[in-house]
Structure formats: C-alpha cells, structure tokens
C-alpha cells in the first residue's frame, strides 16, 4: 500500500522496537530507590543523554513528555505563566498563524482564559515568518518588547513544509530577553536541528514522527527558563513535568532520534529525490495543480509535497486515492462536519476555494520509487473524477 502520510506518523524502526522490547519484560519505576528502580533510571538517563547528543542539547535540558502536544502546551502555557508572574505586564504572545494546532489552540486558550493578548506574526506567500516581521511585532505593543511573554514559531511547517529561520528569529527575541519556543516535530531527521546553536529557549520533539513509538516526546528546555507546570504531582523532570516515566518508550525514542540524526543527510538526499519525482509526476498528470510552500527545495522539508487541485474537494480526492490503497492527507480540517480551508494556506494568502482542494504527500524512510509510480498513475484519473463529481 503506497503510504504518503509519514508527517502524521511513520513506521517504527526495528532498532527502536528492539530497544522497547528489551524493557517491556522488566519492572521498575525510575523514581524508586531500589535496584529495579535504579535500573529503570539508568535506562532513562542513558536515553536522555542519547537524545541530547543527537539534538545539540545538554542532558539536563531534556524534559520527557507524552508527546509533541504536551511539550507544546508546557512551553506555551508554562512560559506564559512564569513570565507573567515575574512581570504582570507580560501578557502578549507572538505566534505564527501557521502553527500546528497543539500550539495554535494553546495560544488561543491563553487568550480566552488567561488574559493573553495574541499578536499573529506576518507570513509571506510561502508561510514563512521573517525577522523583520518579528521586530515590528515586538515594537508594536503598548510597552514595546517589555510586555511580551514569549514568541512561538515552528521550525518547519507540517502541512506545506516551509522551513523557518529559527536561529535568526530566536536571536531577535533573545535580544530583548524574550524566550522563543519552536515546534521542531517535523524537522528532526530532515533538517539539521541543534538546540544550542538555534538559540531557542524551548524546542518540541516527538517520537512517532521519526520512527520511534507513539506517546513519547520531549521539550528541550534551556536551563535559564523555568515554566510553570501544566501537570502537578511527583515533581519529575525538573519539577515541570510530573508523572511516572515511560521507560520502554524513552528507550525506543532515544534510539530512533539517534538513528534519524545519524542518517539525516542520506535521508534528505534519497527522499528529497523521490519527492522531486513525485512533484514532477503530479505536475505532469495535473498541469494546473498548485504546489504549496516554498518552491525552492532548499526552503522546504525534503519529505513534503503539498498541492492544491483547482475544482476539487480535498476530502473527495483523498477518498478516491484511498480506494486505490494510496494513503495521504488533506490540508483541511473538519469542524462540525463542514470542511474548512486549511488555516496554514489561508494565512499564506491562498484562495479559500483553492485551499479546500489540497492534499499533502509526505514521504518517509519506507517510501519507494514504486510507491511514487503508483501515485503518478493514480493522481490524474482521481482528479478528473473529483472534478466531475463536483460538477454533477
């Protein structure tokens, strides 16, 4: 079955599966002091060290979470609460409007429940935030940069693949003593991700996007930042994320991260080549298809190809491909059963009607030339049928 939804989740790596399996038959809470607990703690700390080494962080900066969504919420809400507590003027949040909903909804929750003022950063037609736009937004508040609690801009967009200039944005924010959080869930394993070099205060990563297990992620958190906890309990993970640590998942996650980073260049070369073949095939089959995101391969994720198909509904097109055992995803979300255009595409200036006809093809470590060929053969007839259905 051709699978082009690796951005949603990608198959578990055999090495990660084996690392997990080695822990599943063992018993021990990593917070316990007896021998079984110490053994579990050793596995956790070895995993922490592996993850930190792979991502340019110190082990003490790795805070394990249940996944990317929790890490995003801890960064956005926790940093907001901590910064506001230190200075009540700090109620502004600067965020890109193309964020994943784990960030977008957390920001909007702060606005609705915690008195936050949200300023959406401008993006260009590729969905990219530029440093000048951040500088202008910082200066635009009633107190200038002094009322900003945090900035949050993703490393690479999950829908259209556009890569953000995170290091430049972080430098602008840091110049005013403001923390920048970046959701790097899609970037790890595809782009060079170095936490220390980025200058970000906090960075979100997730296991199941890189060949690790579901239900595990991490927030890389600079030692100078102490967000208020979202979860309270035993005080694990620097007392900002309580909860019993998932030892098998941490073992699998850390191995997957290590391998994803070690093989990143080969992955980008091989998968980027297949992505380019896919783009060429779709354009040949559907000449009026519109490629989203940065058309320059250097400015987008190597595994991403997002298209809008004029005259089509994305959901209908997805189901037509699914009927041929080809899996992909739409760029739209559904609210109360009514298809809505992607917020990412709208923020980047796309026409709403065109945005409704979008599909995302995301590749991964199991993608083959045969899968690309299968899509190339199927996409033209599927688009023709979707357009005919729309006219009937």
Q: Where are the domains of the chain?
A: 14-262, 264-391
| pLDDT score of 141 | 85
15-26 pLDDT tens trace: 999 999 999 999
Backbone angles phi, psi at 92, to 5 degrees: -90, 135
Percent of the chain with pLDDT over 90: 95
Q: Are the C-beta atoms of 219 and 63 separated by less than 8 Å?
A: yes
Summarize the confidence of residues 66-82 as an average pLDDT: 98
The CA dihedral of 99, 206, 213, 373, to the nearest 10 degrees, is: 60
The per-residue pLDDT of the chain, averaged, comes to 95
244-274 pLDDT, tens digit per residue, is 999 999 999 999 999 999 999 999 999 999 9
Q: Do domains 14-262 and 264-391 have the same CATH topology?
A: no
pLDDT in tens, 272-317: 999 999 999 999 999 999 999 999 999 999 999 999 999 999 999 9
**What is the rounded average pLDDT of the residues 341-357?**
93
Residues 6+ apart with CB under 8 A from 141: 92, 117, 119, 147, 148
Q: Verify whether residue 334 is a known catalytic residue.
A: yes
Looking up tokens 């693949």, which residue turns up? 161
Q: How far apart are CA 334 and CA 253, in angstroms?
A: 31
Provide CATH code, domain 14-262.
3.40.640.10
Helix (H) or strand (E) holding 362: strand 358-362
Helix (H, G, I), strand (E, B) or coil at 218: strand
Please list the residues that pair with 148 across neighbouring strands.
92
- Is CATH 2.60.40.10 the classification given to domain 264-391? no
- The one-character DSSP state at 141 is S
- DSSP per-residue codes, 262-302: HTHHHHHHHHHHHHHHHHHHHHHHSTT-EE-S-SSGGGB-T
- State both tokens at 300: 């987008």
- Cα 189 to Cα 3, 226, 271, distances in angstroms: 18, 27, 11
What token pair was written down for 304? 């991403």
Q: Write down the catalytic residue from 26, 139, 140, 334.
A: 334
């Amino acid at each position: 079955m051709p699978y082009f939804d690796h951005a949603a989740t990608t198959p578990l790596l055999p090495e990660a599966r084996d690392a997990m399996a080695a822990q599943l038959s063992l018993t021990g809470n990593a917070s316990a002091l007896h021998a079984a607990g110490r053994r579990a703690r050793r596995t956790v700390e070895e995993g922490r060290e592996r993850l930190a080494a792979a991502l340019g962080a110190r082990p003490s900066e790795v805070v394990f979470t249940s996944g990317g969504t929790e890490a995003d919420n801890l960064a956005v809400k926790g940093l907001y609460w901590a910064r506001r507590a230190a200075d009540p003027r700090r109620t502004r949040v600067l965020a890109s409007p193309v964020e994943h909903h784990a960030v977008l909804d957390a920001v909007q929750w702060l606005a609705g429940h915690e008195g936050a003022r949200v300023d959406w950063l401008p993006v260009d037609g590729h969905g990219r935030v530029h440093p000048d736009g951040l500088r202008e937004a910082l200066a635009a508040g009633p107190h200038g940069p002094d009322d900003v609690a945090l900035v949050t801009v993703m490393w690479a967009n999950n829908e259209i693949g556009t890569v953000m200039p995170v290091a430049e944005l972080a430098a602008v924010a840091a110049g005013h003593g403001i923390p920048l959080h970046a959701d790097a869930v899609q970037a790890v394993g595809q782009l060079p991700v170095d936490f220390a070099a980025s200058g970000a205060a906090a960075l979100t990563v997730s296991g199941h996007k890189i060949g690790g297990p579901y239900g595990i992620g991490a927030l890389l958190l600079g030692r100078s930042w102490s967000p208020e906890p979202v979860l309270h309990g035993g005080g694990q993970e620097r007392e900002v994320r309580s909860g019993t640590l998932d030892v098998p998942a941490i073992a699998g996650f850390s191995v997957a991260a290590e391998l994803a980073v070690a093989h990143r260049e080969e992955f980008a070369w091989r998968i980027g080549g297949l992505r380019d073949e896919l783009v060429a095939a779709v354009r040949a089959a559907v000449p009026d298809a519109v490629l989203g995101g940065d058309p320059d391969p250097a400015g987008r994720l190597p595994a991403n190809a997002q298209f809008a198909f004029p005259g089509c509904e994305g959901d209908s097109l997805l189901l037509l491909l699914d009927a041929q055992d080809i899996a992909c995803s739409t760029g739209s979300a559904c609210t109360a059963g009514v298809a809505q255009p992607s917020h990412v595409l709208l923020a980047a200036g796309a026409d709403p009607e065109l945005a409704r006809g979008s599909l995302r093809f995301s590749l991964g470590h199991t993608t083959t030339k045969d899968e690309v060929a299968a899509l190339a053969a199927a996409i033209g007839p599927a688009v023709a049928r979707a357009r005919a259905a729309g006219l009937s």
